[in-house]
Chain A
Amino acid sequence: MQASRKELAQRVLLALAVAGLGLAVLHESARFSALAAVFPRVVGVSLVILAALLLMQSILGKGLASGHSESMGHFAGGSRFRSAGFVVVLLCWAFLLPTVGFIVTSSIAFVGILLIATERGTDWRITAKRAVLGLIVIGFFYGLFSMLLNVPLPRGRLWALL
């Protein structure tokens, strides 16, 4: 009973959030010119209608199931700390790339994710071998992209200052 009440509350909150998003879009579209406002308004109104239907569906307890769910969430569960650690490393990687440079950030991030993803009880020598292999992969793709495909990978503003 507790779980279903919690689930219902979550669904109602989700419907309200979707309705809020639709209303925000409608509010924001008031600033646009007539031509540019047509489509956002249509989408905003659609979101509000869909939120109302979602709310009704939640209250009536019926879902319009389509038969299968996409391949997402197949691995639900596991360690939240590892997931959070991975997200933090990814964000740092993306935001430090122009400052610290491609090779340094990628090498550190690669080893960081490798350590987070390593299964428990793995010998440190195996981890070290994997890290070296990873650095070789980075070197190979750096060469491929920067030399063969002429992609100007960031060298890092930090190194220019030193």
Chain B
Amino acid sequence: MEILAYLAAALTFENLLYALVGVVLGTAIGALPGLTATMALAVLVPFTFTMAPASAMIALGAIYTGALYGGAYSAILINTPGTPSAIATTFDGFPLTRKGEGSFAVSLACVSSVAGGLIGGLLLLMLAPPLATLALAFGPVEYFWIALLGLTLISAISEGNVLKGLIGGCIGLLLSMVGAAVMGGDLRFTFGTPHLVGGVEMISALIGLYCIPILIDLVAEPERGLFTGKRTTHVPLRRTLKASWDGKVNLLRSGAIGTLVGALPGAGGSIASLVAYSEVRRSSRQPEKFGKGAPEGLQATESANSATVGGGFIPTLVLGIPGTPPDAVILAAVMVQGVRTGPELFSSHADIAYTFIFGLLIATIFMFPVGLVLGRWAYNIVADLPKALLVPTVAFMCVIGSFAIHNNINDVRMMVVLGVFGWLMSRLGFGPSPIVLGLILGPIAEQGLVQGFLIGGASGNVLGMFFGRPISLVIILLILLALAYPLLFRRSRRGNYDASE
């Protein structure tokens, strides 16, 4: 019965308004390349200081949810993931846009995000304490293996050649080592340049490696606009809802994957969408259509990455450990309100915790109309702009977005240099995703590996430390499956071909 009282508290006019405004602002900010969910929260957090704690958390949760979905616009329309979680969204989102199906892609992403967000929110409501205990069982070695799983998955699913994918991942790991070492504190690969001491900024690398190569190729083409064929300009709502209903199992499974992986502090969003993408492709009868504009791929990634919002809040609320950087901003804002998150939150401040979770669910529902309207608007702008205007505008957004991360000109230079490097690498058959994921997961993998060695060395059983723990063994099995997948895929494709012959 108390639960209904918390639901009623979340449904006040004030909270509904905060949720709606939060979603709109978050979506608008998240849609701009370079402006992430973390930045949206950091900019808007002072406005919540005068609100009641539960309302402040609802507003922040709504901004976060909206910003995460907004990142899908740039990933789908201009192949630039605003956040690492949206990397896998580019795989099928941008090919759909190139086919003139951008409006469908954006609508489908909206429905999938709403579905994923609701799954994540409901699981947060029901399973927060047990899932948090599972997340606590992850030690440094498990984090090392999970980082390796992320790299293996992206190498196996995102590129035409697994070896090149793995090499790309290693190059990303090398980029992650530039600057002060996470273990030992040495300056590595800085070549005596002070500009490299701070390392390679992740968001500028993301913008550079994804966006600049596309712009370079677009400039080279003689066509007037981004789209050469026919395109849909309206919101194909019936088709979107039908595709979503047909893909309900995919949405549910991806949402559950997103919540589970999102509950792991640190690794969350980027791995969740990759695992979900890999899973939907593995279970598909036509895996060869993925990467060429398969709606199922887009549904899986968007559902999973929106579910990480709920998943990420599990360790944040139950343990006081932020699952993702935006969770850290929300955690800080909540502490300013005088609320301590942690195991006692659900007993001593149950009203705030449950009102917030219901508020998050309401904000996710608001995302449906807001996302459809804003998505159509964003798509039509990109579709109608002549290439001569689109390319400099996007380049300008990349420059200003990279600069705004730390107000540092070196981030802009890094973005441009990595963009040109990414373009050259794409000529050699290396995709950007393994490089970017190597860059993101590098510090997690290094910390896990070195700490594992130290702990294993101290206990006199290094091998047992890495290969003797049950969770590690499960992740190692998944890595082996991911590596074996291309071989199995090729064999099954050959079998299909022989059968059709």
Contact = CB atoms under 8 A, between A and B. Distances in A.
A associates with B: yes
A49 B119 CA distance: 42
A72 B221 contact: no
Interface in B42-78: 43
A153 interface: yes
A149 B403 CA distance: 13
**Most-contacted residue by chain A among B170, B391, B412, B431 (CB, 10 A):** B170
A103 B460 CA distance: 61
Nearest to B293: A71
B166 interface: yes
B167 A82 contact: no
Nearest to A56: B163
B287 interface: yes
Main SS at interface, chain B: helix
Interface residues of B, number: 92
A66 B489 contact: yes
B435 to A, nearest CB: 11
Contacts of A61: none
Given A43-B173, A130-B388, A154-B409, A83 B183 contact: no
Contacts of A138: 396
A64 B161 contact: yes
B90 A54 contact: no
Contact of A78 (B79, B186, B220, B420): B220
**Most-contacted residue by chain B among A37, A66, A117, A130 (CB, 10 A):** A66
Contacts of A25: 174
A83 B490 contact: no
Given A69-B160, A70-B431, A117-B391, A86 B215 contact: yes
Contact of A77 (B186, B220, B393): B220
Given A66-B489, A152-B407, A117 B94 contact: no
Given A35-B181, A74-B98, A119-B387, A68 B486 contact: no
B480 interface: no
Contacts of B291: 67-71
B165 A66 contact: yes
A90 to B, nearest CB: 5
A68 B288 contact: yes
Interface in A14-41: 14, 18, 21, 25, 28, 32-40
B340 interface: no
Contacts of B386: 119, 130
B163 A95 contact: no
B262 interface: no
Interface of B: 43, 79, 90-91, 94-95, 98, 155-167, 170-171, 173-174, 177, 181, 183-186, 188-189, 212-224, 281, 287-288, 290-292, 386-389, 391-393, 395-397, 399-400, 403-404, 407, 409, 412-413, 415-416, 419-420, 426-429, 431-433, 442, 445-446, 449-450, 453, 485-487, 489-490, 493
7 contacts: A32-B188, A66-B165, A68-B291, A94-B413, A109-B399, A117-B388, A122-B388
| In the A-B complex, the 9 residue pairs with the closest CB atoms | A78-B220, A68-B291, A36-B184, A35-B184, A70-B431, A75-B217, A36-B186, A113-B392, A36-B181
Interface of A: 14, 18, 21, 25, 28, 32-40, 42-43, 46-47, 50-51, 53-54, 57, 63-80, 82-83, 85-87, 90-91, 93-95, 97-98, 106, 109-111, 113-114, 116-120, 122, 127, 130, 133-134, 137-138, 141, 145, 149, 151-154
